[in-house]
Amino acid sequence: MMKNLLLLGASGSIGTQTVEVLRHLKDTEYAYTLSGFSVYRSIDFAERLISEFLPEFAAVVDPEAAKELENRLPPDVKTKVLSGREGLFYLCRNAECDLCVNGIVGIAGLEPTAELLSRGIDVALANKETIVSAGEQVMRLAREKHCRILPLDSEHSAIFQCLQGGNKAVRRIILTASGGPFFGMNWENLRTIKKEDALKHPSWKMGPKITVDSATLMNKGLEIIEAVRLFGLSEDRIDVLVHRESIIHSMIEYEDFSTIAQLGVPDMRVPIQYGLTYPNRTESPAKPLDLAALSRLSFYSPDPVTFKALTLARQAVRTGGTAPTVLNAANEVAVEKFLRDEIGFLEIADSVEDVLNRTEIISQPSLEDILLTDRKIREKKML
Ligand code: NDP
Ligand code: MG
């Protein structure tokens, strides 16, 4: 029997690369049937996906776009179009699936993840904001329901792969970071950065939100929190190492100082495919690694003073409770404002710091507390 896959955020960078992996795995023992997918409003893409994969459900969060897609589909197409955020929830509660890939961007991915874990379904998770904001709660849910969260973020997939021998005697995790497009710059240089500059990433082609996060290094800050939650190590045992070539995706140092690293070309289809075939492996659509052609790999320490998002993320996870939720929500709002040219590049981290300083933190929050905290930060327009 072929396994069923549910793909959330199908039209994004992670989503479209997952579709490429699905095509690549077709006719192999790891093939999946696409039982359902979601987009926000990319209905041209949705239409193509429906005609190629004939899924049972297609959820379109924007109701106008959902109506338009419904009108476009020929009458003989059996796919049910679900509309709005309710439609997305219906999809998560009802689509037949053995695995869900969650490639939604932002906190919008949290409730869908929780719905699927509640059904005992494994989630291959790219949506890091879920783990940052509600990591303890979703990890607990996965334990209770005996299902897995398989990390798709390249660094966390790397750590997950390095830990296959078990996580005993781990001394520290070394998260590698490309350093983003502004590596080596100081505040003076960063003051005049424009959106167009921040949207150019040196090694990865990704959606706009994570590309800006990579430029501020908030992405690495979020990934520190993600690693704390996924692998249960304290923040002070997670180091960041700038590695411009993005070949080593992360490393584990053991008590005896033996270090295990995972290497590969920077291509998200590798961690995505590993999530789909886990615990097995098969040839991927990416290129093999040619180290002789590369000849050298370089490493530097990050600059947590200029790129203070790193420091803020460490503080938030040390504080715990809803502090990472506040950090994440404030950052999402700030990045949206930056992308609308309403604030400057340095104001992203400044405003996150300001909101963190002004918000009361709830310790041991429930999932409802987290959703409420997130909403309050957005509604208060504290930035
Ligand atoms: P994109 O912006 O490229 O794609 C986002 C997807 O989510 C699209 O399908 C979009 O639909 C949908 N979407 C947007 N807003 C909402 C919403 N409010 N509710 C439901 N769906 C929504 O993002 P990426 O693929 O780059 O990133 C996705 C997640 O994966 C992020 O959390 C990111 O941090 C993480 N990640 C991404 C990596 C990458 O290489 N891209 C690497 C590691 C992690 P539509 O097209 O209709 O707007
Ligand atoms: Mg990453």
Per-residue pLDDT of the chain (383 residues; tens, 9 = 90+): 899 999 999 999 999 999 999 999 999 999 999 999 999 999 999 999 999 999 999 999 999 999 999 999 999 999 999 999 999 999 999 999 999 999 999 999 999 999 999 999 999 999 999 999 999 999 999 999 999 999 999 999 999 999 987 788 999 999 999 999 999 999 999 999 999 999 987 777 899 999 999 999 999 999 999 999 999 999 999 999 999 999 999 999 999 999 999 999 999 999 999 999 999 999 999 999 999 999 899 999 999 999 999 999 999 999 999 999 999 999 999 999 999 999 999 999 999 999 999 999 999 999 999 999 999 999 875 55
Q: Using CA atoms, how far apart are residues 250 and 375, in angstroms rounded to an integer?
A: 33
pLDDT at residue 174 in the model: 98
Give 46 Cα–ligand 1 centroid separation in angstroms: 15
The residues spanned by each domain of the chain are 3-152, 156-379
- Which pLDDT value is given to residue 21? 98
| Binding site membership of 132 for ligand 1 (Cβ less than 6 Å) | no
Per-residue confidence (pLDDT) for residue 32, from 0 to 100: 98
Q: What is the structure's pLDDT at 167?
A: 81
211, with CB counted inside 10 A (0-12, 13-18, 19+), is buried
Report whether residue 49 contacts ligand 1, using a CB cutoff of 6 Å: no
Nearest Cα residue to 116 out of 4, 246, 234: 4
Q: How far is the CA of 76 from the centre of ligand 2 (A)?
A: 41
45: exposed, middle or buried (C-beta count within 10 Å: 0-12, 13-18, 19+)? middle
Ligand 1 and 246: CB distance under 6 A: no
Q: What is the pTM of this model?
A: 0.97
CA distance 243 to 169: 25
Q: Could you tell me how far CA 254 lies from the centroid of its own chain?
A: 26
Q: Which atom of ligand 1 is nearest to the CA of 126?
A: 30
CATH 1.10.1740.10 assigned to domain 156-379? The reply is: yes
CA of 12 to the centre of ligand 1 (A): 5
Q: How many Cα atoms occupy the beta-carbon half-sphere of 281 within 13 Å? A: 5
3-152 is a CATH 3.30.365.10 domain? no
CA torsion angle 311 315 320 324 (round to 10): -40
Whole-number Å distance between alpha carbons of 282 and 18: 15
Question: How many CB atoms neighbour CB 114 within 10 A?
Answer: 19
Q: Residue 261 in contact with residue 274, Cβ under 8 Å?
A: no
Check residue 166 and give its pLDDT.
77
Candidate of 210, 224, 336, 375 to mutate for ligand 1, largest count of ligand atoms within 8 Å of Cβ? 210
